[in-house]
Structure 1
Amino acid sequence: MEFVIISGMSGAGKTSALHIMEDIGYYCVDNIPTSLLQTLYKLCKDSSDKAMKRVAVVVDVRGNGDYEVMYDDLENFKKNNEGVSILYIDAKVDSLIVRYKETRRRHPLTERLKDGSVAAAVKEEQRLLVPVKTLADYSIDTTFMSIKQLRERIISMFLENSSNSIMITFMSFGFKYGIPLESDLIIDVRCLPNPFYIAELKEHTGLEKCIQDYVLDSEETQEFVKRLIDWLDYSLPLYLKEGKSELVVGIGCTGGKHRSVTIAELLDNYFMEKGYKCIVQHRDVKK
């Protein structure tokens, strides 16, 4: 029995995430009050229908007026039932405000606040959901993410989910576009040789051999990579021992096209060969 609770900020992409879960075979329910979670769980667990054994539901501020009760219900539900995990969908406040203004949709909290502005509603929701975010097993920040990237991330998490292993996401990014909020670790590789300043390499990316050769052939990079791998080799079993189900390693260079992509690809290949479940995502490589 797999029971995935999707929660997070309004406008961050919970509905899109639910549609993706449905596409990969989960029985999905949107906007369910936490008071009904146990009833739904029992119905699915007792059902003889195999399609009811993988369930995804959205729980958020729309169906829950008392947020302290919402948090307590989620905490108790997760603690008292097997196979339950929480996926938290997030995005930066400024991005959410822009999305609401572009779509002209009303935020669920606007009518409950004296200041009924979108900005006030988004910030209040962020404050209210802090406790829920702490319960999450998985977190995705969609600020700079396309629907295609969100789909790839969710599929990697749940299509072949294994509760006995940690899933590592190596995410390359450019510091000029902001740090990925869901990152557990940030590795700054701006100290490595930069192909951007080589005319014949500038327009290529770290997905290409010419860039990989340039970055990895230097003594500085080889020593950097050796020490980084040694550290991760030591750290990953400790995260696994603590019961962490996902680790997001952000690898950043200036623009997110050359050095960070190269190192992310290298780490993904290395740890996949060691038997870890890995995914590599290049957030800014096409910018």
Structure 2
Amino acid sequence: MSSITPPVVILTGLSGAGKSTALNVFEDLGFFCVDGLPASILTALVTLFAQEKNSKYRGIALGMDLRQLDFMDQWLLAREELDKLGVVPRILFIEAATNVLLRRYATTRRPHPLENRVAGLEQAVAMEREILAPIREQADLVVDTSAYSVHDLRRIIQEHWTVSRESASGLRVHLISFGFKYGVPAEADIVLDLRFLPNPYFDEKLRPFSGKDEAVAKYVFAQDVAREFFEKLQGFLLFLLPLYAKEGRYRLTIGFGCTGGRHRSVAVTEKMFTILRQKGFVVSLEHRHLELG
């Protein structure tokens, strides 16, 4: 088997962060979904699925977590076996801030998978975060659901798997527009502050629109400083991204922030998304605070 035609997605992450919700989204997208899959049978299931002809499913989405006592050992073995088959699964890692996870567990009153092994809930969350750190580093996409609703998480997954190419390898670039007043994305590797650009918010005619609208984008890039900044930023990223890819980087998340996350950051992120796709990069786009700004 040289490759698996349908994509294979591994959903993992911190308990209580929203993995089950994410799996439901993939089911709605037409994926064959299994939750709580033991890592030891991952290869067998993927191989069986690949042998099915004319499958009605778009791919496989498998939820995996620490309910297995030897999860990490089995995970490493499964990755080795998949590598031998030429299968490179895409990993989606779901996480949230510790205080958010504690609040969610207090609401649901369900025990944490590791709670019986340590003193209490907070220690269990810390232990799980530490154990899963190596998988997080391998992830193609890390989603922090601390400030997300169920609908936000669904939108992010749908947008990412719609625009992202089904490439089995290479650097994935994830662009996020956001508003500083709502918080900087925790998963951002690079953060760019765009609050020096002219602000369409102060134009009453443009205020109701967003950076996705042509009038707002024209306003933002009407100034020489905006055009010069974007030209230099484009050159910088086109120089930098291949270097990350050369070093074997799995993903790079870049945050573009303005005050409210609705006008300047959205306009710049949209334009950069178009440029990077035209240059052949595997890139996805998220407007985190568009509706809040």
Q: 1:263 Cα deviation (Å)? A: 0.9
* Cα contact 1:211–1:258 (8 A) shared by 2: yes
The residue number in structure 2 matching 1:22 is 27
CA distance in 1, matches of 2:115, 2:259: 38
CA distance in 2, matches of 1:138, 1:246: 7
* Cα contact 2:40–2:78 (8 A) shared by 1: no
1:114-263 to 2 correspondences below 5 Å: 114-115=119-120, 117=121, 119-158=122-161, 161-163=166-168, 166-197=171-202, 201-202=206-207, 204-242=209-247, 244=249, 246-263=251-268
Q: 1:175 Cα deviation (Å)? A: 2.2
Return the TM-score normalized by structure 2. Answer: 0.82
Q: 1:121 Cα deviation (Å)? A: 2.5
SS in 2 for 1:4: strand
SS in 2 for 1:50: coil
Letter matched to residue 264 of structure 1: T
* Cα contact 1:37–1:77 (8 A) shared by 2: no
**Structure 2: 5+ residue stretches without partners:** none
* Cα contact 1:27–1:51 (8 A) shared by 2: no
The structure 2 residue matched to 1:56, chosen from 61, 79, 91, is 61
Identity %: 36
Return the TM-score normalized by structure 1. Answer: 0.84
Report the number of matched residues: 284
The residue number in structure 2 matching 1:272 is 277
RMSD over aligned Cα atoms: 2.8
Distance 1:144 1:189, change over 3 A: same
Question: Residue deviations 1:140-181, cap 9 Å, x none?
Answer: 222233444433433444455123665433210122322223
SS in 2 for 1:139: strand
Q: 1:266 Cα deviation (Å)? A: 1.7
SS in 2 for 1:251: strand
Is the aligned partner of 1:82 residue 2:86?
Answer: yes
Letter matched to residue 210 of structure 2: T
Q: 1:74 Cα deviation (Å)? A: 4.8
CA distance in 2, matches of 1:151, 1:241: 32
Letter matched to residue 11 of structure 1: G
The structure 2 residue matched to 1:107, chosen from 102, 109, 112, is 112
Question: Residue deviations 1:34-72, cap 9 Å, x none?
Answer: 22223323333444463578322111012x113542453
